[in-house]
Amino acid sequence: MTTTDNAVEQSALDQSAAATSPTTSPTAADSGASASASFRSTSQYSGSGTATDSARVDTLARALLGAVHHVIRDHDVTYPEFQAAKKWLMDVGDGGEWPLFLDVFVEHAVEEVASRTQAGTKGTILGPYYLPEQVQLTSPATLPARPDEKGTPLLFRGQITDTDGTPVPHAVLDIWQADEKGYYSGFAPDIPSGNLRGVVTTDDKGVFEITTIQPAPYQVPTDGPTGALIAGAGWHPWRPAHLHLLVSAEGHRTVTTQLYFAGGDYLDSDVAEATKPELILDPTDVGDGTRQVTYDFVLERN
């Protein structure tokens, strides 16, 4: 994909978000439609290069359908329940909520399998709100933010090394996060594109320093079919506050991860089950209202 395609795609995302809601409060339809458009345009993450091996398709399709049949038999599922489930599945598709739903309720298991073979910093889910081709910055860097961006200033610093401790020069941190209300640029109306997103290159010792704000916890949209399921089941719709990162370097395997905040709400009950104890930051106050934290990343060599 070219930069122009991405610019066009991004503007389509902005327009679809703006067109579906003139208010300042994002709806499930905003987030769902934008997340679906983004997934389709981000080919490196959509699995479009996966070969279809019919033995593998047979194995997985049989296992998946078998699991569904098992639930139906075990729980005496009725016709009205089957028809309600069918309608709900159609609503998730119509609302463009499949990326949201799958990344909240399924991706953590895929990531668990992927992480079995990855050394270094723990990974976790990508989620539906990554956008490629964001502004390129050099450490020390400040993420793009609105002039009146609310939230506690956060100075996030650290170093990237490989598994034997050797610094990785000019490693790259692609970072994105929610704002102080828990909303992501590109997926909610009224937030400028690229806000709180950036691709930061470290110095020649792998050292980085990024100024941003502390994100708020994220709430899965409550007004769509995913929200209806969560409410219907009596669950809560929250993810703990987090920073998203793709950490990469020439000759090294990219780590897809998130960092959380000690003492924050929902750390022990993440609706997406994507927290890990190794990924919790504990920033300290530096006096002027700013908080500061160091976190070092370890990348495996290819």
Q: How many residues bind ligand DHB (CB under 6 A)?
A: 11
**Residue with the shortest CB distance to ligand DHB:** 127
Q: Does 127 bind ligand DHB (CB under 6 A)?
A: yes
Q: Does 183 bind ligand DHB (CB under 6 A)?
A: no
Of 95, 99, 123, 127, the one binding Fe ion (CB under 5 A) is: 127
**Window 250 to 289, contacts with ligand DHB (CB under 6 A):** 272
Q: CB of residue 129 vs ligand DHB: minimum separation in angstroms?
A: 5
Which of these ranges, 96-104, 120-128, 188-196, 287-295, lies near Fe ion under the rule CB under 5 A?
Answer: 120-128
Q: CB of residue 177 vs ligand DHB: minimum separation in angstroms?
A: 9
Q: CB of residue 72 vs ligand DHB: minimum separation in angstroms?
A: 26
**Window 81 to 100, contacts with ligand DHB (CB under 6 A):** 100
**Contact present, 130 and 39 (Cβ < 8 Å):** no
Nearer of residues 238 and 295 to Fe ion, judged by Cβ:
238
**Window 210 to 249, contacts with ligand DHB (CB under 6 A):** 218, 220, 239
| 53 DSSP β-pair partners | none
Residue numbers of the site for Fe ion (CB under 5 A)? Answer: 127
Residue numbers of the site for ligand DHB (CB under 6 A)? Answer: 100, 103-104, 125, 127-129, 218, 220, 239, 272
